[in-house]
Amino acid sequence: MVIPTNFPQRASELRDLINKYNYLYYIIDNPEVPDSEYDRLFHELKQIETDHPELLTADSPTQRVGGKALDKFNQITHAIPMLSLDNVFDTEQLLAFDQRVRDWLNTSESQVYAAEPKLDGLAISLRYEQGVLTQAATRGDGATGEDVTANVRTIPTVPLKLTGNDIPEVVEIRGEIFMPKAGFDTLNQQQIADDKKPFVNPRNAAAGSLRQLDSKITASRPLEIYCYGLGEIQGMNKPDSHSEAMMLISQWGCRISPELKRLTGIDECMEPITHLGARRESLPYDIAGVLCKFDSIQLQQRLGFVSRTPRWAIAHKFPAQEEITIVEDIEIQVGRTGALTPVARLKPVFVGGVTVSNATLHNQDEIERKDVRVGDTVIVRRAGDVIPEVVQVVLSKRPDNTVLFSMPTHCPVCQSEVERIEGEAKARCSGGLYCAAQQKEAIKHFASRKAMDVDGLGDKLVEQLVDEELIADVSDLFQLTLEQLSALERMGEKSAVNLINALQTAKQTTFSRFLFALGIREVGEATARALASHLLTLDVLQQADEETLIEIEDVGPVVAHHIVTFFHQAHNREVIDRLLVAGVNWPEEQKVSSDSMISGKTIVLTGTLEQMSRSEAKDKLLGLGAKVAGSVSKKTDFVVAGRDAGSKLSKAEKLGVSVVDEATMLGWFSL
Ligand code: D41
């Protein structure tokens, strides 16, 4: 190893290298060196700077870890004010905007727009002098903001030094700082574990993280940036268009939205609006809508502002994901395994694109933590398909005489005692299958698509059958007669015949579906599959003790205990016997060959397969001992790409994961 003696030169080399690796890792998502090499260089630089403090510079990557805490933030006046945005909420209003602006310009021609997602974070202005980040200020009221330079330096996607050649003497780059959804979830779990208040949403978490006087705290928070425009520039002409400005910003090493599009005419702007709206939930960050800006800077200047809102930009907002409403009642739901879940009955409210009238309160700890009471005004959040959630009580609106909610000591359905085992979040009804609620949920689960798949036996019908005392457990389903079913309210002759046929069809199943359908606690689809493929027969499973079960992959001591307990109960064995007598059956399980070439490998299926459906392929792969995952990561061993494979294929290529075609997969099956 060469021992560097020229410290100033070596420090500068190290800074350039580390900045370059940062850029490759964070900005273009294409790391060039392993983490260990990066760590080594970082360490070396840190050491030089500690030994020679005079060599420390503002753009040194070592400054990202945060420094001394401040007493307060200084106020900063923006050289060029930071603007605010006008909103529209539907196509009609968007078209009216376009019409209004064209009238103003006195033209009927289609205008060129740049469209990009409107991130839900905080606007920031980054000032670079001679290419080095010297100041970062929040938007504040648009005219003055706060100096958060020390904090912003800790954000890995913010370059401390711009790259490339044509860097102006002074340039302000504006962008949005945000917290990705995944980082937000992890942060909140940590907050709860530390007995600290969780953040309401990623935006609040980003704001709270950026406004820390101690930059070490900011450094520990998963913040990111996308840049969206320029402020002051000295020593360089302004670019001609927004899209050119974005190209420059990107060449300087700043991150710009990969969704940015240049479009002609407002009609074309509808495409990203619809498309991003549809992908909103699957994006890794929250977006509030789509921004359409006039691309030409000349036109922007002609159009100017009304107060501080540009006439040349508009935000097409998406439906809000948070709203305020009132808790009219709190009820207890009893689940399949007896778990009691408190549910808030809400005054119906339109949020996240649907009308919401219930929200889960999860469990006793959650209720205590949030202290939700009947009569409270609450913030409700619904993001995508996620179950609506009460995120916070608006305490200032709490009426007098509310009472603290407490979990019942007896099951509201069967009056059995409620118990809560140490260390478990959920309180449970001890009534077991004596409890009508548990009976119903167990039967619904048994009949569901991924279990026995009884076509036409929906939740409502199960409830009706239990309420009419026609069935009490899953084996009773197969004793139902046409006469009984036809006599039910809202049941026609034809539906009754169909249901009898569906029950008949469902009898022919697989061992793993059957196991899953039994509803043993903690035995999900994957565990059921593992049990089936390792133990092969029901007899062996029923006789297995906990030690044997733990040997199986995916089976821990808790699951093993639940399985043994389940089969220990005479009642459960009787139900199983009745199911078998009624004709429930499955083909014999084949031992998974652990030497198949894909055994133990993680495989992702994508695109359209020609020879079989994706679910058939999945079953076959599982049968050969592979794991089938839904998304591509570094842990993926193979991606099987069918016709029109899209983003998963590109991700695989980017990560260097092996990609094979359908024919190769068929080859695995015939080995
Ligand atoms: O993603 C954003 N939140 C975003 C905000 C964006 N992508 N572009 C923006 N562009 C502007 C103008 C049109 C003024 C250059 C903005 C904002 N403004 C903005 N953010 C907060 C206030 C204004």
- pLDDT in the model for residue 103: 95
Residues near ligand 1 with C-beta < 6 Å? Answer: 83-85, 116, 118-119, 123, 139, 176, 228-229, 291, 293, 310, 313
Q: Residue range 124-129: average pLDDT?
A: 97
Using one digit for the tens of pLDDT, what is the confidence trace for 305-360?
887 889 999 999 998 888 899 999 999 999 999 999 999 999 999 888 889 999 99
Q: Which CATH superfamily is domain 429-581 in?
A: 5' to 3' exonuclease, C-terminal subdomain (1.10.150.20)
Class of the CATH domain delimited by 76-317: alpha beta
DSSP 8-state code for residue 594: T
Q: Residue range 46-55: average pLDDT?
A: 91
Is the pLDDT assigned to residue 591 strictly greater than 80? no
**Residue 238 a catalytic site member:** no
Cα of 242 to ligand 1 centre, how many Å? 12
Is the pLDDT assigned to residue 4 strictly greater than 60? no
Which atom of ligand 1 lies nearest, measured to the CA of 119?
1
Domain with CATH 1.10.150.20 in the chain: 429-581
Question: Which residue has a Cα nearest atom 14 of ligand 1?
Answer: 83
Domain with CATH 3.40.50.10190 in the chain: 602-670
- Beta strands 339-351 and 309-310 are unpaired
d(CA 570, CA 632): 45
Is the pLDDT assigned to residue 227 strictly greater than 90? yes
Question: Which residue has a Cα nearest atom 23 of ligand 1?
Answer: 84
The residue to mutate among 157, 174, 230, having the most atoms of ligand 1 within 8 angstroms of its beta carbon, is 174
Residue that wins the pLDDT comparison between 385 and 366 = 366
Half-sphere exposure of 458 (CA within 13 A, CB side): 5
- pLDDT in the model for residue 35: 78
Which atom of ligand 1 lies nearest, measured to the CA of 142?
22
CATH 3.90.190.20 given to domain 6-63: no
Half-sphere exposure of 235 (CA within 13 A, CB side): 11
Q: Of the ranges 106-115, 533-542, 587-596, which one carries the lowest mean pLDDT score?
A: 587-596
Query: CATH number of the domain at 322-397, out of 3.40.50.150, 3.40.640.10, 2.60.40.10, 2.40.50.140?
Result: 2.40.50.140
Question: Which residue has a Cα nearest atom 2 of ligand 1?
Answer: 118
Cα of 201 to ligand 1 centre, how many Å? 20
- pLDDT in the model for residue 290: 97
Q: What is the band of 592 on the pLDDT scale with cuts at 50, 70, 90?
A: low
- pLDDT in the model for residue 338: 93
Is the pLDDT assigned to residue 636 strictly greater than 90? yes
Which atom of ligand 1 lies nearest, measured to the CA of 226?
1
d(CA 184, CA 91): 32
- pLDDT in the model for residue 581: 97
Using one digit for the tens of pLDDT, what is the confidence trace for 415-471?
999 998 888 889 999 988 889 999 999 999 999 999 999 999 999 999 999 999 999
Using one digit for the tens of pLDDT, what is the confidence trace for 14-46?
999 998 888 888 877 777 778 778 888 999 999
Q: What is the band of 595 on the pLDDT scale with cuts at 50, 70, 90?
A: low
Q: Which two tokens stand for residue 479?
A: 């004793």
Domain with CATH 3.30.470.30 in the chain: 76-317
Domain with CATH 2.40.50.140 in the chain: 322-397
Cα of 182 to ligand 1 centre, how many Å? 23
Of 584-588, 607-611, 653-657, where does the model show the most confidence?
584-588
- pLDDT in the model for residue 36: 79
d(CA 15, CA 41): 9
Cα of 251 to ligand 1 centre, how many Å? 20
Which atom of ligand 1 lies nearest, measured to the CA of 257?
7
In whole numbers, what is the pLDDT of the chain averaged over residues? 91
The dihedrals phi and psi of 175, each to the nearest 5 degrees, come to -160, 180
Class of the CATH domain delimited by 602-670: alpha beta
Domain with CATH 1.10.287.610 in the chain: 6-63
- pLDDT in the model for residue 64: 83
Is the pLDDT assigned to residue 1 strictly greater than 60? no
Other residues' Cβ atoms within 10 Å of the Cβ of residue 573:
13
Which atom of ligand 1 lies nearest, measured to the CA of 242?
15
Cα of 118 to ligand 1 centre, how many Å? 7
Cα of 228 to ligand 1 centre, how many Å? 6
Using one digit for the tens of pLDDT, what is the confidence trace for 153-199?
999 999 999 998 889 999 999 999 999 999 999 999 999 899 898 88
Is the pLDDT assigned to residue 558 strictly greater than 70? yes
Residue that wins the pLDDT comparison between 434 and 2 = 434
**Residue found by looking up tokens 């006046």 in the block:** 77
Does an H or E element contain 438, and which?
helix 436-447
Q: Which of 321, 313, 320 is nearest to 269 (CA)?
A: 313
Is the pLDDT assigned to residue 599 strictly greater than 90? no
Of 68, 118, 370, 627, which is the active-site residue? 118
Is the pLDDT assigned to residue 217 strictly greater than 70? yes
